[in-house]
Structure formats: structure tokens, C-alpha cells
Structure 1
Amino acid sequence: MAVFLSTYVNKVDRKGRVSIPAQFRQSLAKTSAPSTIYLWPSLNHQALEGADQDYLDVLSESLESPDLDAAERDLIETFIFGKSIPVPMDGEGRIVLPRELAEFAGIEEEASFIGRRKTFQIWEPNALKAHEATLREQAVRKDISLSQIVAKAARGASSRNGGDA
């Protein structure tokens, strides 16, 4: 499964083609279908979500869990699998953004790619800047820090393993 890191802004040409960031292409090269990505409208933002085939396979398997609420399963099946579009990469690492997806995200001349570990998002650059500013304000207001997140995860792992918290 690919791992997507960092943020890149790339030009979109008149034909709707945009280059996949080189780091993303390097990660995709290690997957089962390195020349195809899957895009769908974000559930929470005016942006696109993207992933490789391996991630969609894991997500599909996860939907078999008896712990998953039927409404959540329906949501994922309808809005992720039902709206996903396989997008092939050409030999130069470019894709053609499907018109309906580009319109949904407001992407015209430039596209911002932001890595989110096992998935990535594609935003209109100014919309991404506004979203990042909102997230930064939330982090400050809630006093979120990486050390707190790591400590919280360690406590959770300890309690799942029967150790002391």
C-alpha cells in the first residue's frame, strides 16, 4: 500500500491534465496497480480523495466487519465505491481529472495534492489554504500536540494488551 506525504501544487492544463507528484508516483510504483489511482468526492470537504487499489481492497475487507454499523457501510459503499473513478496515469505521470470531480472541487488552473498517509486529497489551492488555517486554529484552541497524540496512542495500546496505563 502506498504512503503519501507532503503537499504539492501542480498546474492543470487546458485538457484537464495534471501531474501526480513524483513522491506519490514513487509510492504508487510499489503497489499492485501502479499506473491507476482512484478518485472520489470527499465526504467532508469540497475536495477530492484519492487512493491506490490496495487501499480500496483493505477498505472493502473492512466493510465485512460485524462491528460496522449498517448505515456506515451503506455510506462507504455508496459514496466511496459508488463514486470512485479509476484514473490511469500516462507515461509522464499525468492524469486527466474527470470533469465532474474537478468541478466538485473547484479545480481549474492548479491543483494542490496533500498526502494523508494511505490516501491523499486534491484541493483547489486557495481552498486548501483556508482549510489548513481552520485546522491550525482548532489545534491551538484544543491544545493538540504530537506528544499528546503519541502518549494517548501508547495508553490505548497498553490497555488493549492488558498492561497498566
Structure 2
Amino acid sequence: MLYTGTYDLAIDPKNRLSIPAGIRSDMDAEKDGSRFYLVPGKRRGTLSFYADKYFERYAEQYHCSLQEGEEKEDFEAVFYSMATVLDIDRQGRVVLPQRALDHVGLGKRVTMSGARDHLVLWNREDYASFMERNWSRYPDLLRQAQLRTEIAKGNGDH
């Protein structure tokens, strides 16, 4: 599934978060699964949501890419101890573990953003700051991505 869009959401007093209806309706239970794994995000202060069937493949990529040793053990100790299966209830909500919220300091006003193969949960103000800093760079980032795509295809004779 391709995750896109930005959604301003709120975490309720019971740590429940509503997954946007469009995301839920686009999930294919056969292909994507019907639950999410919540893991520490790639950026500080964020959490990432991965469809459960995708998560196993994602986890295997990290397992294979790190060399044996203390760094791999540290990564796995943090990553897998924080990974949590989130069931979606009948109202389309998930319950976020307090431990995960405490580690990243999200607060109750959050933004969920699509990130191609996963969703990212940000503190709303942090997301706004991130976009403010990076929006002006977007044309350059897009050109770099297009150039890398052309090079990967063998057409990058620039």
C-alpha cells in the first residue's frame, strides 16, 4: 500500500488514536494485513506505523543489513522492545502504548503523514517546523531523486 497525505489528529485521554478512514479503507487485508506495528521512527520524536504483513519484510531488511556485534544488538534491543502490534477497533482507533509516547514526547496533538511504505506520527508543532524548514528545499530534493532514478535506470548521462 502507498501511504500518502497528512492528517491532523488528537490522542485521547485513553491514548487512542483514530486511523483516518481513507487509510483504513485502502488497506487490503490479504496483502497489507489488518493491524499495524508501531515502532520508533526514523526521525527523533516520531513513531512509525507499518502494516503487519509488511513489517516482517521490513524487519528482515534491517536484520540482514547490520553486521553482527554490539551495534546490531543495541539496535535490535531498542527496535524490537519498542515494536508493538496495534489492533484497530470497530471505531477505527488504535491504543498507543504510554511507554512509546513517553520515549518520543509526542503530546496529544499530532500529525500523521504518509511516507510511501509507512505512516509517521509527529508532534504537530514538530511536523509544522519540519515542513517549514524543508518545503523550500523540495524542488532540489525532487531533482536529486529524479537524477538518482535516471542513474539507477542507466540513463544518467548528465
Structure 1 length normalisation: TM-score? 0.77
Q: Look up the SS of the partner of 2:140 in the other structure.
A: coil
Q: 1:44 to 1:107 in 2, by over 3 A?
A: closer
Match of residue 67 from structure 2: 69
> 1:118/1:101 Cα in 2 relative to 1: closer, same or farther (>3 Å)?
same
Q: Which residue of 2 aligns with 1:92?
A: 91
Q: Residues 50-90 of structure 1, C-alpha deviation per residue, up to 9 Å, x if partnerless?
A: 1112221212332464x643366445533333320111110
2: CA distance, partners of 1:164 / 1:147: 12
1:59 corresponding residue in structure 2: 58
Counterpart in the other structure of 2:118: 119
Cα displacement (A) at 1:122:
0.6
Secondary structure at 1:15 match in 2:
coil
Residues in 2 aligned to 1:63 and 1:148: alpha-carbon distance in whole angstroms = 25
The alignment yields a C-alpha RMSD, in angstroms, of 2.6
**Larger displacement relative to structure 2 (39-48 or 120-129):** 39-48
What CA distance in whole angstroms lies between the structure 1 residues aligned with 2:97 and 2:60? 27
Provide the C-alpha distance between the structure 2 equivalents of 1:39 and 1:120, rounded to a whole number of angstroms: 10
Structure 1 pair 57/129, CA: closer, same or farther in 2 (3 Å)?
Answer: same
- State the one-letter code of the partner of 1:78: A
Which contiguous aligned blocks of 4+ residues in structure 1 show a shift greater than 6 angstroms? none
- Check if 1:3 corresponds to 2:2: yes
Code of the residue aligned with 2:125 in structure 1: it is N
- Count, aligned residues: 155
1:93-147 superposed Cα distances (whole Å, 9 cap, x missing partner): 101111112223333332210110101111110111112223335x27xx61424
Note if contact 1:43-1:79 (Cα within 8 Å) is conserved in structure 2.
Answer: no
- Where 1:25 maps in the other structure, the secondary structure is helix
Greater shift, 125-134 or 100-109, is seen at: 100-109
Instruction: Provide the C-alpha distance between the structure 2 equivalents of 1:81 and 1:57, rounded to a whole number of angstroms.
Output: 12
2:33 counterpart residue number: 33
Give the Cα–Cα distance (whole angstroms) in 2 for the partners of residues 64 and 42 of structure 1.
Answer: 17
Match of 1:156 in 2: 152
What TM-score comes out, normalization by structure 2 length?
A: 0.80
CA distance in 1, matches of 2:117, 2:50: 7
Residue identity (%): 20
